Structure 1
Amino acid sequence: MPREAPYLQVAESLRARILAGEWEVGARLPSGARLAEEYGVGRNVTQRAMDRLIIEGILEGRAGSGTYVRKPRERTRMVRSRHGERRGASPFRADMKDHGRTGTWESHSQARVPAPEAIAERLAINPGDLCVTTRYEFLADGRPVQLSTSWEPMAVTDGTPIVLPEMGPLAGMGVVERMQSIGVEIATAVEVPRPARATQAQANLLGISVGDLLLEIERTYYDTDGRPVETADIVVPHIRWEVAYEFGVERP
């Protein structure tokens, strides 16, 4: 398992200390230099860790003054990042742990489902090719957080222990780790976010009202050859969660 990036380890520690009340809302954190000395890392590591917590809405930077603990948001910020798949196990469970919550989910898989035309186009297969589709309801401390419907071509997973995502030796693991176990290396994820309104079925599952604003995220994973190996439609209720994207920046 790849070791977590040092700045993510520092961010996790700082997050836990803030949640434990070591620094109250409005309190100024020690300087980046002091934290770097405390954690035995470089200043750039602590700066990236604090930047991560600013993205999450836990901290705020004030020009010329320092970094402070921010008043909790009414809506919780969900950070989607390329590091999410590198933390092992389920990215969702890791994300909820970052917020001090317990992430769980309920799921139902169905095999040998013919791919509808739109899904076939996203997976670069023929309409009617057989897939496994899995519907998820993700929960944090027992409360609904998001919904997802996933499609995987059976041409990729048929006859392997991971053909049903939530059964077998890697049940509960993320797509990247499951695919890696059968020799499929995922290299890229593409996400397309779109606004939408809640249907009756979605409202019932998420505990919101019909017509409430949603964020729908169309996500597709590609292997190292550029082949799509999984696609999903993720639904997040706007009233409770705001989604932020973290991108790495190439240095010249």
Structure 2
Amino acid sequence: MNVKALDSRLPAYARLRDTLTARIARGDWTPDAPLPSEARLAQEFDVSIGTVRKAVDGLVEEGLLERRQGSGTFLRGPSFSSSLFRFFAMRGADGTAAPIPSSTVLSRTRATPPAEAAEALGTQDTIRITRLRSLSDLPVLYEELYIPAERFAGFTDLPEAAFGPLLYPLYFEHFGVLVKRATDEVSFDRASATVALHLRIDPGQPLAVIRRTAFDIEDHPVEWRIASGSATGFRYRSEIN
């Protein structure tokens, strides 16, 4: 794809940035191997090295790429390993920060989403996932997730061995969906019988509820989830400078 084939009203570096983004979305590069060198990209797209550098700089600033000293430029995987758990005061027995909780997928089926999820994802055709996150065998979060069936065809047929503690790497490895950003909204509620059963708490006990919408590198919504945890362990911290 030649950069000049894109919107000529944009500067060359912006056209190249959009081209590189499309190539990344297509799965041409992965976080495990560096992108081609600036000289090689300049030759491939018939632009100057300065144009390549400016385009790559923009993608680095956006958090899509990262430069590693002495190794090259790499696709940057999403860093959401424990982001939901910043809302909960979880410590090990010795008082140190807890590791990434374990994850158990309880169900994954084709389902019609609730109105809130359908609106966020822009579709009624979704796959519903329920998941329990635990720390040292103690349930911490019960999650209900919805993903577009069209983007994740075959998700319900994946072997159990494919699932690790995190879903975002699985989205990318099996479906080429790279999560770039997510928005979280926090509220409070009381535990339903289902949530209480999974979290081993009494029905009606206060809950902290986190609603998340995740977006891919082209800013399309690819996941909506609602995560519930006991409000007794909830915390919120904000730094104001």
TM-score range normalised by the length of the shorter chain? 0.5 to 0.7
**1:237 correspondence with 2:230:** yes
- Over the residues paired in the alignment, what is the CA RMSD in angstroms? 3.5
**1:172 correspondence with 2:167:** no
C-alpha distance in 2 between matches for 1:245 and 1:179: 30
C-alpha distance in 2 between matches for 1:204 and 1:168: 23
Identity score, percent: 19
Instruction: After superposition, give the CA deviation of every residue in 1:171-210 in whole Å (9 maximum; x if it has no partner).
Output: 1152332222233222210111111111222222222222
C-alpha distance in 1 between matches for 2:237 and 2:156: 29
What is the aligned partner in structure 2 of residue 32 from structure 1?
none
What is the aligned partner in structure 2 of residue 134 from structure 1?
129
Name stretches of at least 5 consecutive residues in structure 2 with no aligned partner.
1-30, 33-76
What is the aligned partner in structure 1 of residue 109 from structure 2?
111
**Alignment TM-score, normalising by the size of structure 1:** 0.53
**1:195 correspondence with 2:156:** no
Q: How far apart are 1:167 and its partner, in Å? A: 3.3
What is the aligned partner in structure 2 of residue 221 from structure 1?
214
**Alignment TM-score, normalising by the size of structure 2:** 0.55
C-alpha distance in 2 between matches for 1:248 and 1:221: 25
In structure 2, the CA distance between the partners of 1:132 and 1:186, relative to structure 1 (3 Å rule), is: same
* Equivalent residue runs for 1:1-252 within 5 Å: 85-86=78-79, 99-100=97-98, 103-125=101-123, 127=124, 129=125, 131-159=126-154, 163-164=155-156, 167=159, 170-181=162-173, 182-239=175-232, 241-244=233-236
C-alpha distance in 2 between matches for 1:124 and 1:247: 34
C-alpha distance in 2 between matches for 1:165 and 1:91: 28
Q: Is the 8 A contact 2:78 2:180 kept in 1?
A: no
Q: Is the 8 A contact 1:190 1:219 kept in 2?
A: yes
Q: Is the 8 A contact 2:102 2:165 kept in 1?
A: no
Q: Is the 8 A contact 1:165 1:171 kept in 2?
A: no
C-alpha distance in 2 between matches for 1:197 and 1:216: 9
Name stretches of at least 5 consecutive residues in structure 1 with no aligned partner.
3-83
Q: Give the secondary structure class of the aligned counterpart of 2:143.
A: strand
Instruction: After superposition, give the CA deviation of every residue in 1:55-90 in whole Å (9 maximum; x if it has no partner).
Output: xxxxxxxxxxxxxxxxxxxxxxxxxxxxx95276x8
Q: How far apart are 1:169 and its partner, in Å? A: 6.4
Letter in 2 for 1:117: A
Determine which structure has more spread, i.e. the larger CA radius of gyration.
2
Letter in 2 for 1:201: T
Q: How far apart are 1:103 and its partner, in Å? A: 2.7
Q: Is the 8 A contact 2:105 2:129 kept in 1?
A: yes
What is the aligned partner in structure 2 of residue 43 from structure 1?
none
Q: How far apart are 1:245 and its partner, in Å? A: 5.6
